[in-house]
Amino acid sequence: DVKVTQSSRYLVKRTGEKVFLECVQDMDHENMFWYRQDPGLGLRLIYFSYDVKMKEKGDIPEGYSVSREKKERFSLILESASTNQTSMYLCASSFSPRDTNYGYTFGSGTRLTVV
């Protein structure tokens, strides 16, 4: 089975800190995604990447950056954490849509609290 692993289940950080959320997948997926999930707002796409060193902004990229130096790893960076970035962060990966196994596989999520 495909596995997507997020490095932390729970994180508590202080306002202004630089925060790194790590995601690793083990099935050679081309695409990787970062979402945040907030009650009543559903899943909102922050950034995604369709290849190593490639990235594209999603719907809410402000305050975030990403890094994909290796195919299996996609990092989300909060440059200066703020309280409004307190949220559940979900990483996902997938093959391209032209693959018969297309579909996202999600990690278990990281619940980040910024105090």
Partner 1 sequence: AQSVTQPDIHITVSEGASLELRCNYSYGATPYLFWYVQSPGQGLQLLLKYFSGDTLVQGIKGFEAEFKRSQSSFNLRKPSVHWSDAAEYFCAVGMEYGNKLVFGAGTILRVKS
Interface contacts to partner 1, rule CB under 8 A: 4, 31, 33, 40-43, 45, 48, 50, 58, 90, 92, 94, 96-98, 100, 102-109, 111
Judged by beta carbon, residue 17 or residue 28, the one nearer partner 1 is 28
Please give the Cα distance from 114 to 86 (Å, whole number).
5
Vertex 35 angle, CA 14 and 19, to 5°: 25
State both tokens at 69: 């130096």
Please state the closest distance from residue 16 (CB atom) to partner 1, in A: 27
Please state the closest distance from residue 43 (CB atom) to partner 1, in A: 5
Judged by beta carbon, residue 108 or residue 113, the one nearer partner 1 is 108
Vertex 58 angle, CA 84 and 5, to 5°: 80
Please state the closest distance from residue 48 (CB atom) to partner 1, in A: 6
Task: Name the β-bridge partners of 33.
Answer: 48, 92
